[in-house]
Amino acid sequence: MSHTEVVDELASYVRTEFLGDDRSAELGPTTPLLEWGILNSMNTAKLLTHIREQHGVNVPPTYLVGNNFKDLSRIADMVVELKAA
């Protein structure tokens, strides 16, 4: 999957799981997920499980820093990088 495809897939997941499938919710590649409280610790754990199941990658502990989860674009960067490794 390309970076854009990962962003789109993650946006769909986040919208469905964390925003009640609100299609009007502004959720773009640079939406500040942490700042807006969309990714709290429980949601981040769910997202990590989703990334493992959907994309086949385990996010190592060294990647579990806020900057990697700042927005969908950064999460997609991480997923694409881990898939390429």
**What are the structural domain ranges in the chain?**
3-84
Question: Contact at 8 Å (CB) between 14 and 33?
Answer: yes
pLDDT digits (tens, 9 = 90+) for 53-82: 999 999 999 999 999 999 999 999 999 999
pTM over 0.85: yes
Task: Work out the end-to-end distance of the chain between its first and last CA atoms, rounded to an integer number of angstroms.
Answer: 14
CB atoms within 10 A of CB 26: 8
Fold assignment, 3-84? 1.10.1200
Confidence band (pLDDT; 50, 70, 90) for 22? confident
pLDDT at 23 over 80: no
